[in-house]
Every structure is written in C-alpha cells, then in structure tokens.
Structure 1
C-alpha cells in the first residue's frame, strides 16, 4: 500500500515492524518474522537511506522508526504535488492536440469525436437543437444509437422539424427495420430508399453534421469509434449536396394500411398497378425475393418473373435501374 510513496512491500512491512518494536536490530526483527538476519539488515539500511529509520546512539546495529507524520506525510505531499503537475501537463497536451486538430481541419470547421457514447450524445444533441430540418443517411448496422431508441426524432417531429431519411437497401436485412421505418413515417418522417449509401451521417438545419469515420464492419471496441463534427464550411456544403443528389434518385417509401412498406402513388398511362406497385416498393426497400414472396404469398419464382416483366415495361436491364425508373415515374 505504500508503493506510491516509494516503498517496496517488504520495506513497508519492515517499517511497520519497527514502529511496533520502537527500536530493533536485524537479529530482533528476524526473531519476530520469517526474515533472515541478512535480509532484515538490508531492509533496515534501506529504511535509513529513505529517511524512515535512524540508527540508535550507543547501540550499534539497532534502529528506531522515524514517525510517519515526519517521514511519510511530506513524501505523500510531494507525490500529490507531482501528480497535480502531471495532470496539468496532460491537460495542456490535450488542449494543444485540440488546437492542432482544429487548425489542421480548417479553422474549427471539423472536430473529432471519440467513443460510441460521445457520438450518441452528439446525435441526441444535434436533434434536440434542430429547428427546421434533419437530413439522414441511414446505413445498415448502427454504430452508436439503435434506431428504436431515438426518441429525439419523435420530439423534433412534434416541434415541427422536417425529417428526411435515406435508407440503403441492406438496412432492411434487419428483421426490425421495416417496423422502425413504418413508425417514423407514421409520425411524419419522409423516407426514401437507394441501393447503397457511401457513408452514414446526420445534418441539422444545414449548419452542422455528424458522420462516423468507422465502418460498421471495422473491428474494435466502442471506445475506438471516431466521428467528425462538421460545421459551416465547404465540406458541409458538399455533404448537403451529396444528400440532395441521393435524395433525387431515391425511391419513396410509403406505409400501407396494414403497416407495411408499399402503397400506390398517382398512376401514369404505362405504370404498373395493384400488387406490382406493392412489389416494387418492397424491392426498392431492399427486401429479398424470399421476403417479398412471403409478404405477397406467392412463390419466389413468381416474384422473379414479375420483376422481369416490370423491367421490360420500364425498358431497363437491371433491378437498380428499375428502382430509379420507378422513383422518377412515381410508380411506388
């Protein structure tokens, strides 16, 4: 227990024995402990060298203990002073690092956030502070905040904040994904889906953005998670433009009366109708053919045949092109 003031465990035990004995020689200590005489003598000399024992006059080889308030309290105070100086030095290094990071990132435009808890707190504060609009890129596998725990979204929607969320198709591989999106849309979220998103981010009032820098597949603990807080700058302008580009090609997600993703919009002369429109909505939401077949209660082969028919109707060669075509023509 006295290691912080410079004593080994053996020296601390020797000091305790010497205090109890008031004065003792190596032979006396050896008789009261498991120590041999040479080891006891070395420890007594070490205590004398460290100012915790003094030789007894007129009694060669005997030592008495220096009182702890004289020997240890000043030593403890010096340790405390050194610790405080170290703490101040570390704080100075932290501030220097922050200033350097801010200078590197462009005059406070970018701040680095470390740890999942800090990222979660910033995402909550971002939404609490939003007054007009929230823009979201929602990728598969959350990093810091489970979608179902985002009460701040509902609070912001109740304040009249506009929420626009873009989901990548892989997001819907999670069994609870549809329920999360349906819950958001029902309270006012405007949602669209795209095949893939380049990153995950949240932007509040076009004035500040938070975007994680880690991949969801990257190894590491929650403490190793890092994110960027981006304030008004050319970088933020580029992020807003990126969102609007993906929003333009995203397929709208609507909620059916049964509480699923789908529903029909205004038809044009060459648009599909009925279940084919529902099928398209499920497809652009990223559901697999098996999942779509289960929802529509038909075989997987029937789903594949009907999707091929829709591709022929749209005059496209891939499902991705079919999704974009359906979004532009409001087939969903």
Structure 2
C-alpha cells in the first residue's frame, strides 16, 4: 500500500512493525519480520532516509518509528507536488508539440508496435489513457492478452470509462469466457454478440486505435492509429458491427444490469430465464447453455417451454420476437 511513496514490501513491513512496537532493537525487529539482520537494518536505513524512522539517541542500536500522521503526510504532500509538476510539464510539452506540428506528417499518424510485451504494454496504455469510451471488437482467439489478464479494462471501467464491446460467438464457449463476460457486465460494460467480427480492434475516445498486424507464425505486432481518416474508418467499421450485433445479458434482471421492476417479476421471466434467452439468441445450443449456466439440459428445455407457454407461441422464432416486443431483451440496453 505504501509503494506509491517509494517503499518496497520489506520496508513497509519494517515500518508497520516499528509503528506497532513504537521502538525496537534491530535483532528483535529482524526476528519479528523473519529477515536477516542485515536486510532489516538496510530497510531501516531506507526508512530513515524517508523520515519514517530514526535511531534512538538514548540507546545505541534501537530504532524509533516516526508518527505516521506527520511522516506519511509529508511524503504524500511531496508526491502530490511532484505529480502536479509532472502534469504541468506534460501539458507544456503537449502544447509545444501541437505548436510545432499543427498538421502532423502522414508517418506520424500510425506506429507499428512489435513483440508480445510491447503490444501488451501499448494495449494497456491505450485503455488507461481513455477518459470517456473504449470500443472493441473481440475474437475468440487471443494472441497476446486474454480477458483475465486485462487489468487495465477493470481499472478504466472503475474510473467511469464506458466500454462497448462486440464479441464473437466463439468467446461464449471459451474456457472462462462467461465468467469474464459476467464480470464485464457487472462493471456496466455493454456487450454484444455476432457470429464473427471482421478484425480485432480497440479504439479509445475516438482518438487512438489499435489493430493487429500479426501474420501466422510471426511475432505479435500491432498498428496504432492516431486521429485521422483511417481511424474514422475503423470507428465506422465498429459502429456497423455494433448495430448488427445482439446484446448479451448474464445474471441481470433487465438490460443494462438494473433489477426488474417489482410489478414485472410475477408475470415475466426470472433472471435465469433471461440468461437462457440471451444465450439462445446469441446462437448457443440448449446443451451449451445448460453447460455454461450449470443447469440440466431438461431444466433449460423446460424453462424455454414455459416461456413459450407464457407468450402463447409455438416456435422458438416466435419466442424471440415476443421477447423483443415485451422488452425482455433489447438491442439498446
């Protein structure tokens, strides 16, 4: 937790132990931390440099903790000041860049990123730099980073960045696919499904995009596209796919994640029924739906039959139409 002010795990543990004890000998502190005395003393020296600990003037070899409220407060104030200075410098550099390159050269509008680690880093940067919206087309065959590894997505969504994502149907059947999608929907991300997406794509704030360049058997690489006609075309491609895709609903009462109104609970389907409907409309079979939702096949079929009886229809095609007509599923959550 104190890594933001420059402490590693050992130094933070040493400070916490020293705060709990008030004061301690190096030997006692090393025993408490289960560390060699040399490592413990090195950690204490670092704390001394940060103003978090000091050697006792009354007893040689004894260390005393500085009051956290005062010592940590001073460090945090210094960190804020340094961040403000860095932000100011970044703003000045951005202004200088715009002044020198009001019309950037064509080769500055795109950049090629090569190597799995570099692509992963740039992909995370793109999301962490977003302030309003991230749009993405996702295939069922990740090359560099999977949904579980994409911590930047959770971070950005927590900051209020809107995610609009279109996935291939194959993602629903991938190991852990529904778990990832349920977590995404729980963060109020909007997810839709199509048979196939034309390409992998991510665009942040309609200002910066990223598409893969990787060919089979080569190192992962990607093209980063800055604001330009090419980026507008990529956004146009995303919007076209988005309009044709079907919304996905998992574990929620109504589109968008809000619970259904009380008056709709009795006559309408419950949350499990809505999950089944959503997955069936996404193209999954009864058996696959049963497996993904950890239900019996007969349970799924019985619930579908119950929905057909509720709507007074005789075919599943009619059921899908009535589900849209009654607002159980929607193209615009």
TM score, norm. by length of structure 2 = 0.54
290, 293, 298: which one pairs with 2:290? 293
Question: Aligned ranges for residues 23-62 of structure 1 at < 5 Å?
Answer: none
**Can you give the 5+ residue segments of structure 1 that lack an aligned partner in the other structure?**
1-101, 316-321
Deviations 1:227-266 (A, max 9, x none): 11111111111111111122222222223169xx999979
**Can you give the 5+ residue segments of structure 2 that lack an aligned partner in the other structure?**
1-103, 309-313
CA distance in 2, matches of 1:114, 1:236: 20
CA spacing shift, 1:208–1:198, aligned 2, 3 Å: same
**Conserved 8 A contact 1:193-1:284:** no
Provide the secondary structure at the position in 2 that maps to 1:111. strand
Structure index of larger Rg:
1
Q: Do structure 1's residue 233 and structure 2's residue 228 form an aligned pair?
A: yes
> 2:317 — aligned with what?
311
TM score, norm. by length of structure 1 = 0.54
Q: CA deviation at 1:148?
A: 0.6
> 1:210 — aligned with what?
210
Aligned positions, number: 212
The two structures, once aligned, show a CA RMSD in angstroms of 3.8
> 2:157 — aligned with what?
157
Provide the secondary structure at the position in 1 that maps to 2:199. coil
Provide the secondary structure at the position in 2 that maps to 1:197. coil
CA distance in 1, matches of 2:326, 2:119: 35
**Conserved 8 A contact 2:252-2:259:** no
Provide the secondary structure at the position in 2 that maps to 1:149. coil
Q: CA deviation at 1:277?
A: 4.0
**Conserved 8 A contact 1:170-1:286:** no
CA distance in 2, matches of 1:301, 1:231: 47
CA spacing shift, 1:182–1:155, aligned 2, 3 Å: same
Question: Aligned ranges for residues 1-332 of structure 1 at < 5 Å?
Answer: 106-214=106-214, 219-221=216-218, 223=219, 225-256=220-251, 273=269, 277-294=274-291, 295=293, 296-299=295-298, 302=301, 309-313=315-319, 326=324, 331=329
Deviations 1:83-111 (A, max 9, x none): xxxxxxxxxxxxxxxxxxx98xx442222
Provide the secondary structure at the position in 2 that maps to 1:147. coil
CA spacing shift, 1:185–1:229, aligned 2, 3 Å: same
CA spacing shift, 1:281–1:264, aligned 2, 3 Å: farther
CA distance in 1, matches of 2:296, 2:258: 17
